[in-house]
Amino acid sequence: MKTLRHYLDETACEEPLKDLIELIAYQSIPIRDAFIDNQTYADTENVYGEEQAALDKWADQHIISVLGESGFVKAIASEEQADIVRFPDAYGDYSVVMDPLDGSSLIQVNLAVGTIIGIYRGGDPLQKGEDLAVAMYMLYGPMTVLALTVGDGVFTFAMNSEGIFVLLKEDIQMPEGKLFGSGGLRNEWLPGHQDFISLCEQSGGKLRYSGSFVADFHQILTYGGVYCYPAVVGKPEGKLRLVFEGNPIGFIAKQAGGAISDGTQDLLTILPEKPDHRTPIYVGSRKIIESAESCMKQ
Ligand code: F6P
Ligand code: MN
């Protein structure tokens, strides 16, 4: 049985980075425990005007307080915070970007949701996705699964009955599959995106879209295909966030041999303008992302 720690000890990661990864990964235990008491909406909105679930707020506060106390991180950019949270006295020199609870509309229906995390070296969380040191997510499905890359392939771990993450799959390569899923209302899609979805349908693609980016991406990582949340009429920037969602997931996709694009360019090369920078997203198998980009060009 190979644990998360065994795996980390085989990587080139420095000790404090290993400790930080473990610390974050194991927050999945208290977060999972908090589901039962946080099933409602919180009567507040986040900076994007989205209704916050009680669990969004709980997970956000919980991770911020654990990381603040740890002394590992100089800054946290969270989807649930308008501003970057800074810890100038931290002895560690990392910054964390996070979507504490992704897919929150699914909490009340007990479908899979997750926590998305990126770690940069240094105190600036507004860096390009390609400069991430670590990207990971914890997926709260029937099992708690951790997908992790430290820039040397993608590995998944499942939590066992003793609360330990054990290796599930190593060095995952995303196949060229045929699953596809798209956010946005069909009658608001732009012509290039409509063409791309028609192409997916005509080439025998099967629709898979749950409403949780992390869960939908995990399926694409395993079977191949594409998840997209496009630009729509009146919203050229789409819905998803570059810093907290696109970059960590894209870094994982690329490490698994896949790709991520905003429809015109590699998402990981974009320098975020602000924490709440939004972007259209196409992520999945490499050839499908290439065909999405060619549809957008026409
Ligand atoms: O975090 C944003 C998010 O909840 C993603 O997890 C998900 O893929 C998407 O929004 C769902 O949006 P919609 O309800 O518009 O399909
Ligand atoms: Mn999200």
95-154 tens-digit pLDDT? 999 999 999 999 999 999 999 999 999 999 999 999 999 999 999 999 999 999 999 999
- The predicted pLDDT at position 41 comes to 84
- What DSSP state is assigned to residue 135? E
Measured from the Cα of 245, ligand 1's closest atom is: 1
Q: Known binder of ligand: residue 104?
A: yes
Closest C-alpha among 3, 244, 290 to residue 119 = 244
Mean per-residue pLDDT of the chain: 97
Q: What is the mean pLDDT of residues 60-75?
A: 98
156-190 tens-digit pLDDT? 999 999 999 999 999 999 999 999 999 999 999 99
Report residues whose beta carbon is within 6 angstroms of any ligand 1 atom: 102-103, 183, 211-213, 239-240
Query: What is the three-state SS of 57-88?
Result: HHHHHHHHHHHHHHCCEEEEEECCCCCCEECC
Q: Which domains does the chain have, with CATH numbers?
A: 4-169 (3.30.540.10), 179-297 (3.40.190.80)
